[in-house]
Structure 1
Amino acid sequence: MIWEKDSKEMIQIPAGDFLYGTERAKIYLPEYWIDKTPVTNGEYAGFVSATQYDPPYHWQGTAPPPEIGDHPVVYVSWYDAQAYATWAGKQLPSEQAWEKAARGCDGQEYTWGAAAPAVEFCNFAGKVGTTTPVGRYSPQGDSPYGCVDMAGNVWEWTDDSYDEANKVLRGGSWLSHIRHLPVTRRLALNPISYDFVFGFRCMVLSSPDEPAGE
């Protein structure tokens, strides 16, 4: 499905049980759709242009450097990610929704399965030295549903709180050690935090109010 507001491809995650967390608890989630890739600089620029929202500080004015238009947007706080999601008529994913999209139903350790992280699967451990275009590691690193870049490249904000002060990010980044790449790994940070390794993707529940094209 292509979401009308931001023209972004979304992946259908069917209703059903999946194994969640390190304890592999059986959890039921209703059907939803999630962005195939993290939100890119180019997509975030459309939001900035439409709303006059402050751009990430490293951009040149209101546009990202052209060579990183298809890289995931970074230097975004949880509040920035939430503002984009609201504008697009979406929401940030819960931890459960993010994890099911990343690992499928059977509790696999990594988005691609059981194999140890390697350079053909994702961008991690500073091996490239920066973010890479979304989809660079597709299809080898794709999740069982076809979601892209859910390990490495950028940590992704979720809607869930870790505690009263912090929100949860998932997925690891281009700088992350391999211990941060399992789909169950969590990072807790203050929602005002922003950095060169923080990005996000969005989701919508089924039967959304806003029409979308196929």
Structure 2
Amino acid sequence: MIRIPEGPFTMGLSDEQVLFLLRSEDWAEEWQEWYDNDLFMVEQPQHIVYVPEFYIAQYPVTNADYFAFVWQTGYRMPRTWNGFYYPDGTDDHPVTGVSRHDVLAYIEWLNQQTGLKYRLPTEAEWEKAARGDMDARIYPWGDEFGLWRCNTKEGGKFSTTPVGSYSPSGDSPYGVADMVGNVWEWTSSLFRPYPYSAIDGREVPNDNEKYVVRGGSWYYSRKLARCTVREGVIATYTSPALGFRLALSP
């Protein structure tokens, strides 16, 4: 677990960054024209959010991590596994094919095993861990996309990769790995408009609403592998491109 210090950070995408993407990325103009800017607007407005100190896992939960849970409890297998086991050679790949309910069951089991209180990160915590404090970088490493820094469609892997494969070049300012690309990650937050506030109800679980997932994945292009990209999915949703990582309050 990596400590993320308390304090403010810049959350969301600014108008200036939209203009930068329009100048530097061939996909950005299509987003703006085809969807009347809606796909950028869900990441706006950019605003300052204060986040208390917390800890976040350096890597997403892996197949081997999750297998220990399944083996001990008899819990159902992820849909992406082959029968009773994950695919050969993928023990250190992020576990995928897990719904929010599956994730919470794993966390409950882990907390019983460790005596700690692991949880999912809020989307504000996730974004701060991904981009740092106040420089509002577009990617964990800066403002320019780097093909060798993360596992996206452009890299041609067409599957998950071992966690940490792109470290340290793809790490966040705090040293957190795989924050973009490889797999989308569940957060605890409901998918609601900005500005973000932890006390406006979006951190109160409600399976009648969608939950925020973050980070893009191997299945999608670099357009979704940005620190500010947010998608909403229902609690029962599973995908071979969706996993999770743990957070912990001090």
Larger radius of gyration: 2
Letter in 2 for 1:26: I
Where does 1:19-58 land on structure 2 (aligned, <5 Å)?
A: 19-22=10-13, 23-58=45-80
Q: What is the distance in 2 between the residues matched to 1:58 and 1:154?
A: 13
Task: For residue 177 of structure 1, report the CA deviation from its aligned partner.
Answer: 1.7
Q: What is the distance in 2 between the residues matched to 1:128 and 1:11?
A: 28
Query: Is the counterpart of residue 12 in structure 1 residue 3 in structure 2?
Result: yes
Task: For residue 46 of structure 1, report the CA deviation from its aligned partner.
Answer: 1.1
Contact 1:124 1:178 in 2 (8 A): yes
Query: Is the counterpart of residue 202 in structure 1 residue 246 in structure 2?
Result: yes
Find the counterpart in structure 2 of residue 154 from structure 1: 183
Contact 1:76 1:194 in 2 (8 A): yes
TM-score by length of 2: 0.75
Q: Alignment partner for residue 131 of structure 2, among 95, 99, 103?
A: 103
| Structure with the largest fraction of helix | 2
Percentage of identical aligned residues = 42
Q: What is the distance in 1 between the residues matched to 2:50 and 2:8?
A: 4
Q: Deviations over 1:80-126 (max 9, x none)?
A: 1122122222111100010110010021111111122x321000015
Aligned length: 196
Where does 1:118-137 land on structure 2 (aligned, <5 Å)?
A: 118-125=146-153, 127-137=156-166
TM-score by length of 1: 0.87
Query: Is the counterpart of residue 65 in structure 1 residue 87 in structure 2?
Result: yes
Q: What is the distance in 2 between the residues matched to 1:21 and 1:79?
A: 27
Where does 1:85-96 land on structure 2 (aligned, <5 Å)?
A: 85-89=107-111, 90-96=118-124
Moved beyond 3 Å, runs of 4+: none
Q: What is the distance in 2 between the residues matched to 1:95 and 1:58?
A: 25
Letter in 1 for 2:2: I
Q: What is the distance in 1 between the residues matched to 2:225 and 2:237?
A: 21
Unaligned runs of at least 5 residues, structure 1: 1-9, 207-214
| Structure with the largest fraction of strand | 1
Contact 2:80 2:240 in 1 (8 A): no
Q: What is the distance in 1 between the residues matched to 2:246 and 2:80?
A: 23
